[in-house]
């Protein structure tokens, strides 16, 4: 796909505004199917009288709600109930996605696919973690869906994603999506791409050390969610730094909540509250 087309797709869909990073997840509550509650007897029945009554029909089973399953999958992954269960999170999310119609549920499916890629990259459970499968999943998704535009920009900067002309890509990024944090790092490099993956992360470290919340967040992702052996303690330190900087900068509630969820998740894992 041509570079200009990529960036135009970004701006058409995202309105040239910053979105939650690729390792965030979850979605707004989906529309619930109304259920009629089974009426209960108003008074206690004696054994004799209950035996003479016509047997009641069994309670109606609640229909499967794919959107709720995807939401629950993210909740389980971050340990909202006090325990992290990554395999169950993966199964719930995959089941939700498979039950949705792409033609009418593209937005929810996009969130679910994003969550699956996060599970592959960030899970500590070896039954789930597969960084390169997560990367492949991102590459297969459309560039104009809710999350993939932001993923593309970070992936190119971190030398994970390829485009025809990197310099031109960053030039158009600055023109079409001025608020994206990657512009700061590219400007620092004189409009050029980093020389290597390690060089890219060294730039992020320099910015994080001087108070850049986005850089600190992505350093946290590196230690939790990359092809490196995960280092939960180091990832946690960067996430905590990122959260503190976002609070200082009065960032959006969604951004702060997203980082706080990751902090709570890693604390649970370090405390052993983790299903293996």
- Count of C-beta atoms within a 10 Å radius of residue 90: 21
Specify the long-range contacts of residues 156-161, CB closer than 8 Å, at least 24 apart: 156/193, 157/182, 157/185, 157/186, 157/193, 157/194, 157/200, 158/194, 158/197, 158/200, 158/201, 158/218, 159/193, 159/194, 159/196, 159/197, 159/200, 160/135, 160/197
* Tokens standing for residue 57: 């029909």
Instruction: Grade residue 138 by pLDDT with cuts at 50, 70 and 90.
Output: confident
Q: Are 93 and 69 in contact (CB under 8 A)?
A: yes
* Tokens standing for residue 274: 């983790």
Distance CA(120)–CA(128), nearest Å, equals 6
Residue 26: pLDDT over 60: no
Q: What is the pLDDT of residues 65-80, one digit of tens each?
A: 999 999 999 999 999 9
Residue 28: pLDDT over 60: no
Three-state secondary structure call for residue 238? helix
Distance CA(238)–CA(182), nearest Å, equals 18
Q: What is the pLDDT of residues 39-63, one digit of tens each?
A: 323 333 333 333 344 555 555 566 7
Three-state secondary structure call for residue 233? helix
Instruction: Supply the pTM of this predicted model.
Output: 0.76
């Amino acid at each position: 796909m041509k570079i200009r087309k990529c960036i135009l797709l970004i701006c058409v869909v995202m309105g040239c505004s910053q979105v939650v990073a690729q390792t965030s997840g979850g979605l707004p509550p989906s529309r619930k199917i109304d259920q009629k509650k089974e009426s209960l007897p108003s008074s206690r029945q004696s054994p004799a009288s209950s035996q003479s009554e016509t047997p009641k029909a069994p309670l109606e089973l609640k229909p499967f709600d794919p959107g709720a399953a995807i939401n629950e999958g993210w909740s389980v992954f971050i340990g909202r109930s006090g325990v992290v269960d990554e395999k169950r999170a993966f199964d719930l999310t995959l089941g939700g996605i498979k039950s949705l119609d792409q033609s009418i549920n593209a937005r929810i499916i996009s969130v679910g696919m994003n969550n699956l890629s996060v599970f592959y990259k960030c899970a500590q459970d070896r039954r789930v973690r597969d960084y390169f499968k997560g990367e492949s999943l991102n590459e297969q998704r459309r560039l104009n869906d809710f999350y993939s535009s932001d993923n593309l920009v970070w992936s190119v900067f971190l030398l994970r994603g390829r485009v025809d002309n990197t310099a031109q890509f960053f030039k158009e990024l600055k023109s079409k999506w001025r608020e994206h944090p990657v512009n700061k790092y590219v400007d620092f490099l004189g409009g050029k791409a980093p020389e290597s993956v390690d060089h890219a992360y060294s730039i992020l470290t320099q910015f994080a050390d001087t108070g850049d919340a986005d850089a600190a967040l992505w350093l946290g992702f590196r230690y939790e969610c990359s092809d490196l052996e995960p280092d939960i303690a180091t990832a946690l330190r960067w996430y905590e730094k990122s959260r503190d900087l976002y609070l200082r900068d009065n960032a959006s509630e969604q951004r702060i909540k997203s980082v706080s969820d990751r902090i709570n998740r890693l604390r649970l894992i370090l405390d052993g509250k983790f299903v293996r």
